[in-house]
Amino acid sequence: MRGSHNFDEKKKDVEPWVERLAEKIGEFMIKYNIRTIPYGTPKDIEIQRSGIDIIIKSKSSGWEAKIRSPKALKYYDKDILLETTSVKERNKPGWLYTSKADVIAYCWQNSSSTNLMEHGYFILLKELRQTLWFKRLKEIYHIQDTGSDRDTSEGKIYWRTEFVTPPIKDFPRGTLYRFNAILPSNYKQTIIPVGEGNEK
């Protein structure tokens, strides 16, 4: 079990990184019209609840950004946390199953929270879900959990979240791509296929 965290504080910490990452992805994918989803109108809230933080008006239905805090740096470039159960107490599926985004942009903040670490990963969610590896995740990897809390008008609420952390090298070919996530970047953007799994 990992230590618990406050949901709203974590979300507030991540939002600026999501916006900056969207700008970088926008520079690389200049042909797309990218916009971040603000947490303002009822329509935007509904879009965010469906697991989309960034909209690309193209063939892709959207991107979702997952930004890990400096506390998670020991996992940097080693494994990727995939949320299997969002609320254990209600058996609510995690973003791995519920996100409607085509691509997850997965990154880590650096130790001083001044930038993102160099290597980020694009997880092609639709392609990943079609693999046998995806269907067997809970059999292959140890399920871990962590606690979360949130302040509401009725008081503080608590819940547990479950996840698996497969090594990056285990991802099936064609489902995971490494990219230069440093913000801002003067370097040419690169996307490199990673993962040594031989299943499509």
Task: Please report, for residues 32, 142, 163, 176, the alpha-carbon distance to residue 81 in angstroms, rounded to integers and kept in the order given.
Answer: 28, 12, 6, 13
Beta carbons of 119 and 181 less than 8 angstroms apart: yes
Q: Is the pTM of this model over 0.85?
A: no
* Alpha carbons 165 and 137: distance in angstroms, whole number: 10
Beta carbons of 82 and 96 less than 8 angstroms apart: yes
Condensed to tens digits (0 to 9), the pLDDT of residues 88-104 reads: 999 999 999 999 888 88
Torsion of CA 97, 95, 131, 167, to 10 degrees: -150
Check residue 157 and give its pLDDT.
86
| Region for 175 from its dihedrals, namely left if φ exceeds 0, alpha if ψ lies in -120 to 50, beta otherwise | alpha
Condensed to tens digits (0 to 9), the pLDDT of residues 46-79 reads: 655 555 554 444 444 477 889 999 999 999 999 9
